[in-house]
Amino acid sequence: MDPEKAHYRVMSVFKLTTSLPFGKWMVKILYGFENKSLERNLFGLKFKNPIGLAAGFDKDGKWIDLLALLGFGFVEVGTITPIAQEGNVKPRLFRLPKDKALINRMGFNNGGVDELVERLKKVKSDIIIGGNIGKNKNTPNEIAYKDYEICFEKLHPYVHYFVINVSSPNTPGLRELQEKEPLTKLIKGIIAINNSKSIQKPILLKIAPDLNHSQLDDIAQIGLESGIDGLIVSNTTIDRSNLETNKDSVELIGAGGLSGAPVLAKSNNVLSYLVNKTGGKVPIIGVGGILTGNDAIEKIELGANLVQVYSGFVYEGPGMIKSIKKALLSQKVKK
């Protein structure tokens, strides 16, 4: 089945299952597992456990309560834009089973920030929710900051933390906003709005794994000096090296961001570099290539405070979260 269709089909079946008598109870029995030792305090928030679901899986916040049943410590919705948009032409999501990887060029397909707000108002679970914000495809980079500010203002009462996404490879020109000058301007604007609120929300920056050392040095400086609360390392990569999948098949798929197992080493290298450059003073959520408990442990030992999964969740299934938690407990990794 087409991966995008399969995604929505599986979640529809899951929703139906939990609506049946004892459905939610059964899911909790199978996948629910918590332990006080897994709790983390970060950004002024208390996470039940350090394992989150990365943005992109539930862009429009349709399944937050369902995903909470699977034992995630937090769920990130989005990337959301001010105005609804279709995203890129289908097909735009591809599986690379040999590599346990995905290639996507979704293009920030979402129903717009107003639709997301209405869903967030109805969330019943107490799970921590992150709001990943971006710009509409047709918004010029010169005024992209306005899109981010619109999303920030509207989502502010309904999410626990924010993520500024300037690192997707699937919106033309977006990664140019990672350069020091436009990024500093964007961050300063968001922080100014945040400071005007009676309650401030943590603000994180999500970066690509394809930045060179000079660019990463700028990110480290921004992390230390701008007033943001943390980094998410990292988004998908445009790199196609060292894949098991036939090269011709990969080329036939075309453009898009690669996620899954092949990204682990690349994202870990960026994570390690930034931890060293910042002296560990900037909290980091590690994401990219986590399929096992050992993968999560590796990121935490490199300096990540929390971790997120996506492609691994697709390949390994919902039991993955419980498995990672047990691995963390057995290794007694640092908090």
Active site residues per annotation: 168
Q: Which residues of the chain form beta strands (DSSP E)?
A: 40-42, 45-47, 51-53, 74-80, 93-96, 101-104, 128-133, 161-165, 203-207, 230-233, 257-260, 284-287, 306-309
Q: How distant is the alpha carbon of residue 202 from its chain centre?
A: 15
Crossing angle for the helix pair 3-19 and 23-31, nearest 10 degrees? 110
Strand order in the sheet with 101-104: 93-96, 101-104, 257-260
| CA gyration radius, the chain | 19
Which two structure tokens, joined as six digits, stand for 137?
A: 């495809």
3-state secondary structure of 213: helix
User: What is the widest separation between alpha-carbon atoms in the chain?
Assistant: 56
Which two structure tokens, joined as six digits, stand for 135?
A: 């710009």
d(CA 171, CA 135): 9
Which two structure tokens, joined as six digits, stand for 197?
A: 């609120």
Asked if 213 and 273 touch (Cβ cutoff 8 Å), the reply is yes
User: Residue 318 phi/psi, 5° resolution?
Assistant: -65, -20
Classify burial at 126, counting beta carbons within 10 Å of its beta carbon; exposed 0-12, middle 13-18, buried 19 or more.
Answer: exposed
Residue type, 261: A
